[in-house]
Structure 1
Amino acid sequence: MNKLIIILSLLIAPVFVQASDNLVIIQSISNSKKTFVIRKGRDFGISKGQISLFSTTDISFTARATEVTRFYSLWTLLDKEATVPFNPEEVVTYTSSLERIWSEVALTKLREVEQKQEESYLRNIVGNYISLRASWGVSLSQSTSEVAAESLDSRTTLHFEATYSKRMNRHLEIGGGVRFDSDTAKGTNPDRSIPSTRNFLIADITYHFNQLRDSRSHIYAGLGAGIGKSSTEVADSTKTGSATLLPYFRLGYETSPEKSSYSFIAELQIENIVAKETFTTGDEQSTGIVNSKFAIGVRF
């Protein structure tokens, strides 16, 4: 039994030694930050002229061993424009496998390219935008106080809006603007048309999803609210008052032509409107509407 334990220990020990040998301590760094010394030398298998990779979770670079003693070695960066990013006594990962080194170098270059592409993309999209929209829709439900539900047949609506927004980062955008609504409700018993107009100040937040397969198109979702004024004509009377738009939700698709500074948008919208209006006689009436809409527009 003791012999078996000894044999297993001899087999397992090199694995742990090899794993720990991959970590080295930065002994010192030159004032120019072009060379550094590690606590590994000939006993560790390092030879003069050897090229190795040194890295942390954030950065990696290659260096050549220019001086080697039994326990220490002096390394010089291969990239003459670079400086040693480590600090004395810092523990870093050391790799001497040429295949691994060039794989890491390739991955590092790829990450640099991806980072530059991301920075360029963010420079292009982060900023201020003006959006113009026109939408058409129908009511999914509607109710008016002191009016029988069966006397209201249908309602169609049209609205135009202009917003000014700021894209904060890759995903988030906030904005505000104005919106002008015009809708017509169809009444029965007797048959009649009841037109309404509303003007809103609106504010919303939009989440932009990632581009679709490296295209210039993507999907986004927005949530917002608004307050404003409402006016409705009923027969020979007019009622006016306040209106709230809370909330409205939109799911949209945005696409931009190649090398253009504008984009086209198409949206599906759901919204809830509550209008509290008063006739000239002093009678008050409240109307609640849930609309479903389709909108198109342009952003620049």
Structure 2
Amino acid sequence: MNNKTDTPITVIGLGRMGQALAGAFLEAGHPTTVWNRTTAKADQLVAAGAQLAPTVGDALKAGSLTIICVTDYPAMRELLGASDVALDGTTLINLTSGDSTQARDTARWAEQRGAHYLDGAIMAIPSAIGTTDAVILHSGPQADFEAHKPTLDALGTVTYLGADHGLASLYDVAGLAMMWSILNAWLQGTALLRTAGVDAATYAPFARQIAAGVAEWLPGYAEQIDSGSYPAEVSALETDARAMAHLIEESEAVGVNAELPKLIKAMADRSIAAGHGGEQYPVLIEEFGKPRGD
């Protein structure tokens, strides 16, 4: 990583992730100031060369770039909204988990107080911070991101998504949707095969092959969604629905939970009832785009 090492950094919030963030900056050679309500959490960082600020206001003054990673957005607003905290002229990068509405609202709140503000999301576990495996998403003004990217590179693979401050949060939950959906599908299959004495380790390579193959479909399916046209080039939704019924029947026959495939089939049935049975599977985006199953 070609990160700039003379930029002084402040890290506010020293949970496991905050400690990892501060540690990565220290490892890269950045002068690093930290603050946390429980000061003992800073002990190892201070031993490694970090400076412990007595107050949030002092911490902000010490760094030309401040990283915030606390419990939630209300906690962040409480800390930075105190009367003795001056935000004017500061650059804040918020890596606290939250939703897109909170991100946009907080961006306006920070900018009204004179701060440059980027919102972010960490797609990594603490031990990966500082390596290329740590993907960290950013959204907000591109100029602010580009100005600090050489410094942020110390944390991992940093990615800019766009000017909308809510994009990092949306990508975060979209990624979680992928993760849980893949894992849940694998667990469904594992539960089925266990009834025949096949263990999870035996099934896992086959499941991985299927998941990788399906992933190859995504670019083409994305073109269909973006164009709003769903020709059945591979199979029609009504054909897929029959396969879903088979999965449900097999699950029930061997005593495996069928709630997940029933949920997906119910969505497919609604789409077919609306006249989309002859179209390809991505037409279900119309069902996923509705707030309720109505």
TM, length-normalised to structure 1: 0.27
User: Relative to total residues, which structure has the larger strand share, 1 or 2?
Assistant: 1
User: Relative to total residues, which structure has the larger helix share, 1 or 2?
Assistant: 2
TM, length-normalised to structure 2: 0.27
